[in-house]
Amino acid sequence: MHFQEIIQTQQAYFRSQRTKPTHERKALLKQFKKMLVDNEQQLYKAVHADFGKSEHEAFLTEVAILIKDIEEAQRSLAKWTRANRVTTNLVNLPGRSYTVAEPYGQCLVIGAWNYPIQLSLAPAIAALAAGNTVILKPSELATNCAQCMAELVAKYFDPAVFTVVQGGIEETQALLAERFDKIFFTGSPAVGRIVYQAAAKQLTPVTLELGGKSPAIITASAHLNVAVKRLVWAKFLNAGQTCIAPDYVFVHTSVYDTCLELFKSQIEANDYRLDAHNYVQIINERHLERLERLIEKEKIFFGGKVDRNNRTIEPTILRDVNLDDLVMQEEIFGPLLPLIKYQDFEAVLQHIENNEKPLSAYLFSNDPSEQKIWENRLSFGGGCINDAIMHITNPNLPFGGVGQSGTGSYHGKAGFDTFSHFKSVFKKPTIFEVPLKYPPYTSSKLAWIKRLLRFS
């Protein structure tokens, strides 16, 4: 596989300076929005073909977010691209100091399959807004979405600016062997390592949007009905195939049995059936079998049925789960929710601290001291108090992980920043010169320098 031709074309385009003017970027964003709006039904069809997902959910989780992203970038581009003046220190006076956002150049975006359109196109929008060219490699597992994006991008964009390359491991590795100015990867920590190593060979800057087990806690002070309602929605959205889905829930012993019943009635109320258009399929057989293996039959409190023909698993609540159970050894990434009993808040915090830093964390508590401790103690990419997932929907909150759950962030201004290098410029007038730094060095010059440094 040779991608040199596409890469050279994009490099030449970038060096022609045509991606840089704000009006060019705005024109690309306008075209992007047109592509999404003109082909909304085609996108829904592709998402439905891959997951059996309803238009309602596809609109909310795939298309609406992208349109909002574009509008935000269109509105804010002038502000984001403006030089940012900073104070000039005494030693450098007279002079002006500022930072300028410059595009990296040619970007590689590698997407995941679970929200195949959003997770592939949102970074591309940020990269184009920041003035880069983009090669997008969507996940091969969401076949229909990958094909749909490839066709649409080819129809609406000059490949010298934005193009889609389809393929799996082999193609991704061939792409990674090339030199890019920035790599943006969404996927598992295991593949994140491969991407990071490939980038290191060329010293390419990377953003890694990874995953892991995101913990939720329901304390004795929580509003239980609200907690369960929000957790059920967050967990079973996209059948749990969400990087920031609550992976498991610690529930205080005193409210454990009440919560079990609430989970059951909330799941029933939500009517999670594929043919009722309230639920989605597991992406493929392999993942269905992986999830099936994680279900310990004797721990099922609710659900647990696997339908091979429909490729679905019922929303499943697992009770009395222990920390050494199989389901607690890997990111679940499916509709299984282990509820773990706890007595001691401190022990819960220690368990989370002893494991990899999660992409998200959720606390359901109305006790301000618990809230403060949770926020100060734990390290995680982002999270919510008394909600789950919704932090991702505020474009003013940077989205990303920390440690094993990722490095870097995006959405809104953070997305623009992620695809920009902020270069520092010091501009000095030529009319005036302080001779202190120049040889011959004398003791009086040194004394002056020391005096000046004390004041700057």
| Binding residues for ligand NAD (CB under 6 A) | 110-114, 119, 137, 139-140, 168-169, 172-173, 186-188, 191, 194, 209-211, 243, 331, 333, 359, 401, 406
Of 109, 108, 128, the closest CA to residue 180 belongs to 108
For ligand NAD, the closer of residues 61 and 139 by Cβ is: 139
Q: Least Å distance between CB 332 and ligand NAD?
A: 10
Rounded to an integer, what distance in angstroms lies between the CA atom of residue 381 and that of residue 257? 31
Q: Least Å distance between CB 112 and ligand NAD?
A: 4
Q: Least Å distance between CB 243 and ligand NAD?
A: 3
CA distances from 420 to 67, 126, 130, 188, 415 (A): 21, 10, 6, 24, 9
- Give the pairing of strands 316-318 and 336-342: parallel
Q: Least Å distance between CB 336 and ligand NAD?
A: 15
243 is catalytic: yes
For ligand NAD, the closer of residues 116 and 131 by Cβ is: 116
For ligand NAD, the closer of residues 92 and 284 by Cβ is: 284
The DSSP code sequence of 402-434 is -GGGEE--BSHHHHHHHTEEEEEEEE--SS---
Q: Least Å distance between CB 338 and ligand NAD?
A: 17
For ligand NAD, the closer of residues 109 and 160 by Cβ is: 109
Rounded to an integer, what distance in angstroms lies between the CA atom of residue 292 and that of residue 313? 8
Rounded to 5°, the CA angle 385-389-393 comes to 105
CA distances from 449 to 96, 437, 444, 455 (A): 20, 8, 9, 10
148 is catalytic: no
Q: Mind spelling out the 3-state secondary structure of 46-105?
A: HHHHHHCCCHHHHHHHHHHHHHHHHHHHHHHHHHHHCCEEECCCHHHCCCEEEEEEEECC
Contacts of 308 (CB under 8 A, 6+ apart): 285, 288
Q: Which residue is nearest to ligand NAD (CB)?
A: 211
Q: Least Å distance between CB 30 and ligand NAD?
A: 26
For ligand NAD, the closer of residues 110 and 228 by Cβ is: 110
For ligand NAD, the closer of residues 188 and 355 by Cβ is: 188
Cβ atoms of residues 252 and 331 within 8 Å: no
Q: Which of 107, 145, 148, 243 is catalytic?
A: 243
Q: Which of 62, 209, 331, 370 is catalytic?
A: 209
**Residue 448 exposure: Cα atoms within 13 Å on the Cβ side:** 12
Q: Where in the sequence numbering do the catalytic residues fall? A: 209, 243
